[in-house]
Chains A and B, each alone.
Chain A
Amino acid sequence: DVKVTQSSRYLVKRTGEKVFLECVQDMDHENMFWYRQDPGLGLRLIYFSYDVKMKEKGDIPEGYSVSREKKERFSLILESASTNQTSMYLCASSATGKPQETQYFGPGTRLLVL
């Protein structure tokens, strides 16, 4: 059974703080993703990684960076948090394969930036 975990369920930060969101998967998946979920906007891809130390920008990468030093761990970094980054952040992972593989999601981190 695939397990994707995120370091925090709820997080409150101040404007300008550097914020780290951590995601770990235990299924040896090559691909990992960070999404942002906002009401009425669905799931929007921030960054993804298809291998260790590899990263690709998604649809809304501005204000974010990522780190993937180990295969099982993918970190999302808010360099200087702003109030418009208040949101639910979802991590996901998938195996590499043809055809397309299922994405498995973590429980989410609800971030409030004050």
Chain B
Amino acid sequence: GENVEQHPSTLSVQEGDSAVIKCTYSDSASNYFPWYKQELGKRPQLIIDIRSNVGEKKDQRIAVTLNKTAKHFSLHITETQPEDSAVYFCAAGTSGYSTLTFGKGTMLLVSP
């Protein structure tokens, strides 16, 4: 089955800095890569996703890149703000199948 590795497990940055979280996957059949954000005490929510026919996707301060050859994808957050502090999960899935395999999460702390 699919295996998703996520690094780092914790990340501390100063407000205004950029943050990068990296994930690798094992199954070459995976073609859908969502990122979820879970604020303290709240439910995970999708913030951005990318499909394998695209190499990069942006949404305001967040972007995701995908390297299919190397089987890795990354989340980039620019101009970080304290409200970006949360646990971020990457995941991998395959079109036509409903399940996702999640990484273990990255706790991002943005200090004012």
Contacts and interface: CB of A to CB of B under 8 A. Distances in A.
B46 interface: yes
Interface string B40-62: 00111110010100000000000
Contacts of B93: 100
A108 B99 CA distance: 18
Interface residues of B, number: 28
Nearest to B53: A99
A101 B98 contact: yes
A40 B104 contact: yes
Interface string B76-112: 0000000000000100011111111111110000000
Contact of B94 (A59, A100, A101, A103): A100
A61 interface: no
A41 interface: yes
B9 interface: yes
A106 B32 CA distance: 22
Contacts of A94: 98
Interface of A: 4, 30-31, 33, 35, 40-45, 48, 50, 58-59, 90, 94, 96, 98-103, 105-108
